[in-house]
């Protein structure tokens, strides 16, 4: 009879557990926030190299920097991914988020424990009597016990499920944050690298110009001694040469800053890092590669910062369910199976056995409005994440549109500068020949030389800006694609 009662009680508890666990979460049904994406970008160029993209957001973004075909940049990017402390922090945050998800999932399982203990105690002869027909005696005895215990929280209000949804959303958010950190760091590296290489090209041009001008000073000094040119021409050339020397010093200082930034990004100490300069302008700047342009709607699916913001909304939505679950009672099912005896040999005998099975319930009846306040706070936090998501989307559209406009402007500017540089060089050659024939003043030749040099430097700067803009465009589009 007693055994049947135990089995019936356990069966009733199991049915109750199954019924209560089937209750749904109190979190609102999640719907991703809407983003009003425009159909296309403004002023999208139709020149060669501007092509439609076929993104696959589920695929790895890939080593997008390899489109530049620069082995030095590739090696630096590998070092950045392997040794940058900021990226390591992002990885550890992702690992932590995964552990938090595992912790939340663990709440769905019962907690099982094993306990054992022993004590020797003495009861008081003066203790309150339970039976006045019996005189209390002073008793000294031992107590040995061992038991298995288990407890399980019945997820009546869906609190556990909401916490799991929250943890999973935060884990995916951390994954998106990791991808965003990876993208930002490699973009910063490539930007610093091409800024440095643009300065290398500028320095190569300036050093070549300086050598030519020093030769010209020697020639002018010789002509001045012969009375074939004025001292004014000589001093003007010396002044121009000093200006070029100053420009070289400024460019060298800027280059050192970019070199130090590259060292830090790639996880190396700046004092021990040195990146050799290229010897000429021709070899320092690669061709600007084509970049596939996504539609605005596709950009929202690709950018990791947008994905992170959307997952933050999902996590905040789950937190509303956690807050609402406090309106319902908390239920905990507990059980114990063990033994208790005053002598060790009796500990595992039948008479020493004991068990218990119980259900504990608790419900807050009056809390001064704290539950209501928590729910309101969770709802307000949710609305904040929705607004943050919308701001992230708008910023994404702005960044891509700016990068597209800049790319188009730089491409048009390059052709204009090339024509100007060609004309300036011809003008300089003509005035130089006329000066040597005595048909033109040295000031004319000097002026045209400065104009030509200015065009050459602007051309190199424009080429460097186009490479940097390409990096920026890849970054704001969300990274590379498979096969890109």
Q: pLDDT tens digits, residue range 255-285?
A: 999 999 999 999 999 999 998 887 654 456 8
- For the entire predicted model, the pTM comes to 0.81
Q: Is residue 218 part of a domain?
A: yes
The number of angstroms, rounded, from the C-alpha of 271 to the middle of its chain's C-alpha atoms is 28
CATH label of the domain that carries residue 54: 1.20.1600.10
Q: Provide, rounded to the nearest whole percent, the portion of the chain with pLDDT above 90.
A: 37
Q: Determine how β-strand 50-52 pairs with β-strand 291-293.
A: parallel
Strand 139-154 versus strand 330-341 pairing type: antiparallel
pLDDT score recorded for residue 54: 42
Structural domain total, the chain: 1
- Nearest CA to 359 out of 25, 24, 9 is that of 9
- Provide the pLDDT for residue 55: 40
Answer for the pair 400, 407: CB distance below 8 angstroms, yes or no.
no
Is 167 within the bounds of a domain?
Answer: yes
For residue 93, the enclosing domain spans: 25-108+157-328+369-477
Sign of CA dihedral 345, 348, 353, 356: positive
- Segment (H or E) for 359: strand 353-362
Edge-to-edge strand ranges of the sheet holding 139-154: 111-123, 139-154, 330-341, 353-362
Q: Does the residue 91 lie in any domain?
A: yes
Residue 344 lies inside a defined structural domain of this protein: no
Residues 468-479: what's their mean pLDDT? 91
List, for residues 185-232, the tens digit of each pLDDT value: 999 999 999 999 999 988 888 888 888 778 777 877 887 787 767 787
Place of tokens 């039948």: 350
The per-residue pLDDT for 208 is: 80
Mean pLDDT of all residues in 37-47: 65
Q: 35 lies in a domain? A: yes
Contacts of 297 (CB under 8 A, 6+ apart): 37
pLDDT tens digits, 345-372: 888 888 888 899 888 888 888 889 999 9
pLDDT range class, residue 240, cuts 50, 70, 90: confident
Q: Which CB contacts under 8 angstroms, 24+ apart, belong to 297-302?
A: 297/37, 298/53, 298/55, 299/37, 299/396, 299/397, 299/400, 299/476, 299/477, 299/478, 300/35, 300/37, 300/393, 300/396, 301/55, 301/57, 302/55, 302/57, 302/477, 302/478, 302/479
Task: Let me know if residue 10 belongs to a domain.
Answer: no
Whether 114 maps to a domain, the answer reads no
pLDDT of 396 higher than 80:
yes
Dist. CA 303–CA 135, nearest whole Å? 82
* CB atoms closer than 10 angstroms to residue 121: 9
Joined tokens for residue 200: 């290398």
CA 368 to chain centre: 41
CA distance to 147, 239, 251, 423, 424, per residue, from 204 (Å): 82, 20, 11, 22, 19
Quick one: average pLDDT of 10-18?
A: 50
Name 121's bridge partners.
141
In a domain, 456, yes or no: yes
Q: Percent helix, strand, coil in the chain (nearest 5)? A: 65, 10, 25
Q: Per-residue pLDDT for 2 more than 60?
A: no
**pLDDT of the residue at 62:** 74
């Amino acid at each position: 009879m007693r055994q049947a009662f135990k089995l019936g009680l356990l069966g009733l508890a199991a049915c109750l557990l199954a019924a209560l666990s089937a209750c749904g979460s109190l979190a609102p049904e999640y719907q991703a926030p809407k983003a009003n994406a425009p159909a296309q970008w403004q002023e999208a160029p139709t020149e060669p190299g501007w092509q439609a993209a076929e993104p696959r957001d589920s695929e790895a973004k890939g080593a997008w920097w390899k489109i530049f075909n620069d082995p030095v940049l590739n090696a630096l990017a590998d070092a950045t991914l392997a040794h940058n402390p900021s990226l390591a922090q992002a990885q550890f945050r992702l690992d932590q988020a995964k552990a938090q998800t595992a912790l939340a999932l663990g709440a769905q399982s019962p907690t099982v424990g094993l306990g054992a203990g022993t004590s020797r105690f003495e009861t008081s002869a003066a203790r309150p009597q339970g039976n006045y027909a019996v005189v209390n005696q002073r008793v000294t005895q031992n107590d040995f016990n061992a038991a298995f215990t288990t407890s399980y929280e019945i997820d009546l209000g869906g609190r556990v499920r909401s916490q799991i949804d929250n943890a999973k959303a935060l884990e995916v958010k951390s994954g998106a944050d990791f991808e965003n950190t990876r993208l930002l760091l490699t973009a910063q590296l490539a930007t610093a690298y091409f800024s440095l290489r643009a300065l290398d090209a500028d320095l190569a041009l300036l050093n070549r110009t300086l050598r030519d001008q020093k030769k010209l000073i020697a020639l002018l000094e010789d002509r001045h001694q012969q009375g074939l040119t004025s001292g004014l021409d000589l001093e003007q050339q010396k002044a121009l040469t000093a200006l070029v020397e100053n420009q070289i010093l400024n460019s060298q200082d800027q280059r050192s800053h970019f070199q130090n930034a590259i060292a830090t990004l790639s996880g190396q100490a700046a004092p021990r890092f040195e990146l050799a300069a290229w010897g000429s302008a021709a070899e320092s700047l690669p061709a600007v590669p084509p970049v596939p342009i996504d539609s605005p709607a596709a950009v929202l699916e690709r950018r990791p910062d947008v994905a992170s913001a959307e997952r933050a909304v999902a996590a905040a939505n789950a937190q509303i369910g956690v807050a609402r679950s406090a309106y319902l009672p908390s239920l905990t099912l507990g059980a114990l199976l063990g033994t208790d005896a005053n002598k060790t040999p009796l500990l595992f005998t039948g008479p020493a056995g004991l068990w218990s099975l119980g259900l504990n319930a608790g419900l807050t009846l009056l809390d001064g409005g704290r539950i209501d306040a928590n729910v309101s706070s969770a709802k307000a936090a949710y609305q904040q994440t929705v607004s943050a998501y919308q701001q992230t989307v708008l910023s994404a559209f702005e960044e891509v549109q700016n990068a597209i406009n800049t790319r188009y402007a730089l491409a048009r500017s390059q052709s204009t500068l090339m024509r100007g540089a060609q004309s300036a060089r011809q003008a300089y050659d003509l005035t130089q020949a006329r000066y040597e024939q005595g048909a033109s003043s040295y000031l004319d030749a000097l002026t045209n030389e400065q104009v030509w040099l200015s065009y050459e430097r602007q051309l190199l700067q424009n080429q460097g800006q186009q490479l940097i803009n390409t990096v920026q465009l890849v970054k704001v589009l969300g990274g590379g694609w498979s096969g890109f």
